[in-house]
Amino acid sequence: MGVLIGGLAPQAQAAGPPAGQRIALANACMGCHAVDRKLVGPSFEQVAAKYKGDARAPAKLAHKVKDGGSGVWGMIPMPAHPKMSDADVRAVVDWVLQGAPSR
């Protein structure tokens, strides 16, 4: 209908960032990860490339986000996120596996 609710960032609402990106920002994932370069953890593009075509990747990575772990990319551990809902974990993992698109 094109009617915006309130006056909040009409531009952002119109474009609509992917849910996975919003979840990544809300859960401080981007403090350790960037889309296109390695920070503390691997870039999300690297993760997407590594697991391309791996049917088990969504389940494996959801488990990793929830429970944390190390040894896949190096010795630095990925922290656990026990408070994230399964739906949020799944959405953010799907987004990462798509190469973390910004729209």
* Binding positions for ligand HEC, rule: CB under 6 A: 24, 27-29, 31-33, 40-42, 47, 61, 64-65, 69-74, 76, 78-79, 81, 92, 96
Q: How far is the CB of 85 from ligand HEC (least distance, A)?
A: 11
Both tokens of residue 99? 């190469």
Q: How far is the CB of 79 from ligand HEC (least distance, A)?
A: 5
* Between 12 and 49, CB nearer to ligand HEC: 49
* Between 9 and 60, CB nearer to ligand HEC: 60
* Between 19 and 40, CB nearer to ligand HEC: 40
Residue type, 20: G
- Cα four-point dihedral sign 34, 7, 84, 18: negative
